[in-house]
A = this chain, B = another copy of it.
Amino acid sequence: MPDPTEVAGTPGLSYRDAGVDREVAQRAKRSIAELVRSTEIPGVISEPGSFGGIFRVPAGMSAPALVASADGVGTKLKVAMMAGRHDTVGRDLVNHCVDDILVEGARPLFFLDYIGMGRLEAGVTEQIVAGVAAGCRENGCALLGGETAEMPDFYAPGEYDLAGFIVGIVEEGNRPGKHRVREGDVLVGLASNGFHTNGYSLVRRLLFDRLGLGVHDRFPEHDASIADVLLRVHRSYLKPVLPLIEDGKVHALAHITGGGLPENLARVIPDGLEARVDRSSWTVPTEFQVIMRHGRVDEEEMFRTFNMGVGMVLIVPAGEADAVVARLNDEGESAWIAGAVARGERKVALV
Contacts and interface: CB of A to CB of B under 8 A. Distances in A.
A258 B6 contact: yes
What copy number does this chain have within its complex? 2
A106 interface: yes
Given A11-B301, A161-B116, A205-B12, A146 B70 contact: yes
Contacts of A295: 13
B112 A72 contact: no
B114 A56 contact: no
A114 B163 contact: yes
A198 interface: yes
A349 interface: no
A233 interface: no
A71 interface: yes
A324 interface: no
A185 interface: no
Interface residues of A, number: 91
Contact of A69 (B52, B56, B298): B52
Given A50-B104, A267-B51, A7 B258 contact: yes
A77 B49 CA distance: 26
A346 to B, nearest CB: 17
A251 interface: no
Interface in A148-165: 149, 151-155, 159, 161, 163, 165
A265 to B, nearest CB: 12
Given A63-B56, A69-B52, A74 B9 contact: yes
Given A15-B301, A161-B161, 15 more contacts: A8-B198, A9-B201, A10-B198, A12-B201, A51-B267, A52-B100, A54-B175, A66-B167, A71-B114, A72-B114, A75-B153, A77-B154, A112-B165, A114-B163, A151-B161
20 contacts: A3-B267, A11-B305, A12-B201, A13-B205, A13-B295, A52-B67, A52-B101, A54-B65, A56-B63, A66-B66, A70-B114, A70-B146, A71-B114, A74-B151, A75-B153, A78-B153, A114-B165, A116-B161, A116-B163, A154-B161
